[in-house]
Structure 1
Amino acid sequence: MADTGAQAHALAQIDATSSARSAWTSTIFDFGETAWREYRSAEWYVRTLRANGFSVEEGSAGMPTAFAAEWSNGSGPSLGLYAEYDAVPGNCQAAAVEKRPREGLSVHAGGHTDPHSGLGTAGLAALLAIKSAMEQHDIKGTLRFTGEPAEKVRGSKPIHAAKGYYDGLDAMLSFHPFYMLPMCNTVRLETHCGAAYSMIYRFICDEPEGWGRSDGAPIPQAHSAVRAPGANDALMLMYMSSKGLRESMLPHMGGWSVSEAILTAGQATADNLPAGLAEIQYMLRMPTIDMAEQVIAVLDRNAEAAATMSGCRVERHWVCKSRPGLPNLALAGTVWETIQAVGAPRWDEQAREIARAVQKNCGVEPMQNPFLDECEQLIDPQEAEAILRRDLAPSQTHSTSDDYTDMSWHAPLARFYIARPTLKGPNGFRYPAWAMNALGGIPETIDPMVTTAAKVLAHAGLRILEDPATRAAAKAEFDTRTGGGVGGDTWLAPLCDYDPPIQFRWPEYVETPRGRDWWIPSL
């Protein structure tokens, strides 16, 4: 199918703005802000969107670092795109060919790994190119663009979904950088990402004197008197018991994981008082909601037991409850046609020279082509699906994790992947994390991915807006799979019944008389 005039305009617009787009990506990469604390990143997006004519709601759905932007060119179809911009604690890497943190920070600070810095700017570049094409060619319709914080804990999209931010759209497009074969320069078909639950267990020891004797005897003044072990002990009991039972929580098949992170350390005191507060976060990534509920039952039981043993009470606070993904093969086919039209990303000799320097600094003999061949190749979605399913049970319908899945229950959605720069290595060699992170921040190596993804988003987005048949096919399949659309017989309603968990001690940057620092001091 030949490009329409609007599609050609959008692709030319993306090429013409490459310098600005590269600077955008570097800006978000350097912010390196982590879940629920992406203040500078969100403010940058809001400011940029308003400067380009979008109306923007800041703090959408009660999330301070989320936003919802909209622009309309009159009555017509509607398209949803989005940005993510959260980084990961403990991955602070400069955009450099050697291992070193960004200036003034330690390696413990936040840094982009996936990288969401490029994910978000690709979406923004596509959005502005589509808007320009709609104005130039008088295409009626509405563009909606949401800012999605805390994707690494699947945080915002379940909340946005429950609050109606995706309702009424004709289609949504979801892009993610990728390197894990075979899902590279392709689109997902039937096997989408699964469910995810995340929660924080908070142990509180507010009556340590009541743990020992129950006959009302007063506590002696001696520091050796019996008193509750306290919140730290409760947390460690929870940690060890749940780790020990992990292999019994679910059968040994399919892709699933249970991971934990300790959020609040014990309070330092000058006395022998027990720690009064401790928190541990769990993240469950499961193919199905039923599997997640099984694990929750075990964790709840462990938490109650740990609290009882250590003289504490326990609270459970939700971070996310996220649904598995809903496929839409009709829209996936549209996006695959676009990927074939746009082609895979290409890296020039300057990018290859940078990659060789990274290889050398990792102790690898530099290669003529340092990037994986697959990074510059397309793979047919049918072939990718077959490879993906080789290691899955026939009954398993979902695999891996990402919270775009909550969007897929509110409008037809296509999920696609464009290769990020990934290095070849000798057999059995694994590159250190810093190498991948650095290539995600160096403009010469990350810009080809951002440009290619932006073109796919813009080209496919305009196809959706301009072609009624494309929209009709996607909607018909959505209605069939949900038993009648949103609210239909087989539609899965949002699971979110909680407020945004923004009040916890999430890792973040802080301003002190020493300047801007990470919550774990640099020195």
Structure 2
Amino acid sequence: MIDAARATAFAWVEENRPHWSAWNSHIWHLAETAWREYRSAAWYVARLRAEGFTVEDGSGGMPTAFAASWSNGSGPAVMAYAEYDAVPGNCQAAVPWRQPRAGLSRFAGGHTDPHSALGMGALAGALAAKAAMQRHGITGTIRFMGEPAEKVRGSKPIHAAKGYYEGLDAIISFHPFYMLPLCNTVRWDTHCGPYYAAIYEFLCEEPQTWLQGAASGATGAPIPAAHTAARAPGANDAVVAMYTLSKMMRDHMLAHSGTWTLNETILASGQATADNLAAQMAQIMFAARAPDVAMLKNIYAVLDRNAEAAAAAAHCTVQRHWISKSKPGLANHAMAELVYRNLEHAGPPSFGAEAVSVARALQAELGLEPMDSPFADELSELVTPQEAERRLRRDLPSWQTHYTSDDYTDMTWHAPTARFYVGRAVLKAPPGFAYPEWALNALGGIPATIDPTVKTAARTVSGAILELMTNPDALARAAEEFRRRKAEASDPHPWCDYEPPVDFPWPEYVETARGREWWIPATAADRALERPS
């Protein structure tokens, strides 16, 4: 039955390519960023309902999340999911030259990985499996989740803590390839590691108490009469102090092993147009990726001390708000083998003549000699999970159990999960040359260069769902391994102990008298990059 069902699913993927290609392009052009993916989530909800799914909109208290389900009778419950958040500062048109999307600042959101293809590969796969289940009388349930804000590992820890992954028999996680050797393969032992993100919010709510009496130049007036009067440093100074302290302390937090990282983003600053008043509020977010939670706790112990010191120096108070506490991943070899079998049936992505023409045009735009075979050789190769693991471990210390970051890991503690990667269009580079970010972003939005990735992903997802529905022995092996690994773990419970962080001033698109635009308006510099398509 599996061969006939898989053939039906693959045929669905091919026959519906005009539809899912257009859907993917639509989500790519929306390019909405973390916690503000309103139109993207609404599109998925409407599409799933039209396909017969029951959908809970705003799942887990997150306005841009959803939980969908479709059943064809009793049987296994298998889940796939969509992500659809883009990245601020990566606005790019679907053309082989640098240009923001029409009418937008180049600092607007843009898909980099791209999550647009991640979501569409999973959705097309789920719909193809549904069609095959209906045609061949295969019973079971497909669940499909909408997961916002992956770039800050946002929704999955919350969904996990609120029980949305309970009652599942298996989970399939797909991501477009973003680093070697994880291209056209499945993760084996070394899954993504844990992650913390928190906003430190500095508040200067009593600036009048910075200095007292005549020393402050107080006159009883509502604001200082002269800009030379003494004033509290304020929240902006606190953010600068914490930023500087943490940069300085980074080299002293931990030994440089295990590939841990710490990055920061200044999220908000008050009093932008009042230069003679102390800023009342400013926020900075720190995000850390590490191989284990002990490292994360050590990093945040230092950050907490830095925050208190910065607040004291700038006459502020400080509050820490958790954005994410995301667990490390739990491996499952049985699931990895099953999904890889279906990746073999799907085959690697194949880039046709139109894709080659786009790639060559992009190389010419950058002053390179266009290549006859411009795409990386690895895109046409499949790599077994075991071989990918061997290559990945070559540069990692023997003690390190996890590497890189993604919040699919929170799912791995609730059901047997496989994480697979499909090659996406990346170009060969001459020695010493690096392609700019906009070039890779553009290739993720041009149908000829991104559709092959979506197609392979959809075929793999559909095949894996169908095998899980029809192969009870494989499902049992995955379930037994899951129970064993979880029982051996010292901390199997969700970490999320905070409310969805949706009310912070995250960057977003806004409606103005000028129309819909990024919160940073387009300027003459943005318009100067535009050229006729």
The TM-score normalised by the length of structure 2 is 0.95
What count of residue pairs does the alignment treat as equivalent?
A: 518
In structure 2, how many angstroms separate the alpha carbons of the residues matched to 1:290 and 1:208? 38
In structure 1, how many angstroms separate the alpha carbons of the residues matched to 2:177 and 2:216? 63
Note the alpha carbon deviations across 1:216-241, whole angstroms, 9 max, x for none: 99934554443311000000000000
Question: Helix, strand or coil for the counterpart of 1:146?
Answer: strand
2:429 aligned residue: 425
2:72 aligned residue: 73
- Give the counterpart of 1:456 among 436, 460, 472: 460
1:199 aligned residue: 198
2:250 aligned residue: 246
Question: Helix, strand or coil for the counterpart of 2:106?
Answer: coil
| 1:66-105 map, 5 Å | 66-105=65-104
Gaps of 5+ in 2: 524-533
1:296 aligned residue: 300
Quote how far apart the aligned CAs of 1:211 are: 2.1
2:23 aligned residue: 24
Native 8 Å contact 1:174 1:414 kept in 2: yes
Native 8 Å contact 2:58 2:64 kept in 1: yes
Is 1:475 aligned with 2:479?
yes
Note the alpha carbon deviations across 1:418-465, whole angstroms, 9 max, x for none: 000000010121000111000000000100000000000100111011
Q: Which amino acid aligns with 2:166?
A: D
Note the alpha carbon deviations across 1:177-199, whole angstroms, 9 max, x for none: 01411110001000000000000
Is 1:35 aligned with 2:31?
no
2:501 aligned residue: 501
Quote how far apart the aligned CAs of 1:3 are: 4.7
Q: 1:243 to 1:271 in 2, by over 3 A?
A: closer
Is 1:154 aligned with 2:148?
no
Q: 1:339 to 1:269 in 2, by over 3 A?
A: closer
Quote how far apart the aligned CAs of 1:212 are: 2.5
In structure 2, how many angstroms separate the alpha carbons of the residues matched to 1:342 and 1:433? 29
Q: 1:205 to 1:128 in 2, by over 3 A?
A: same
Native 8 Å contact 1:183 1:417 kept in 2: yes
Note the alpha carbon deviations across 1:5-62, whole angstroms, 9 max, x for none: 2111111111110110100110000001000000110000000000000010010000
| 1:388-467 map, 5 Å | 388-467=392-471
Native 8 Å contact 1:364 1:425 kept in 2: no
1:180 aligned residue: 179
Quote how far apart the aligned CAs of 1:248 are: 1.2
Is 1:226 aligned with 2:230?
yes
2:320 aligned residue: 316
In structure 1, how many angstroms separate the alpha carbons of the residues matched to 2:125 and 2:203? 48
In structure 1, how many angstroms separate the alpha carbons of the residues matched to 2:19 and 2:249? 51
Q: Which amino acid aligns with 1:190?
A: D
Native 8 Å contact 1:231 1:310 kept in 2: yes
Question: Helix, strand or coil for the counterpart of 2:191?
Answer: coil
Question: Helix, strand or coil for the counterpart of 2:88?
Answer: coil
Q: 1:207 to 1:473 in 2, by over 3 A?
A: same
Quote how far apart the aligned CAs of 1:270 are: 4.2
Q: Which amino acid aligns with 2:507?
A: P
2:48 aligned residue: 49
Note the alpha carbon deviations across 1:137-174, whole angstroms, 9 max, x for none: 11111111000000011000000010011111000000
What is the RMSD computed on CA atoms of the aligned residues? 1.6
In structure 2, how many angstroms separate the alpha carbons of the residues matched to 1:439 and 1:271? 43
Quote how far apart the aligned CAs of 1:250 are: 1.6
Runs of 4+ in 1 over 6 A off after TM superposition: 214-218
Gaps of 5+ in 1: none
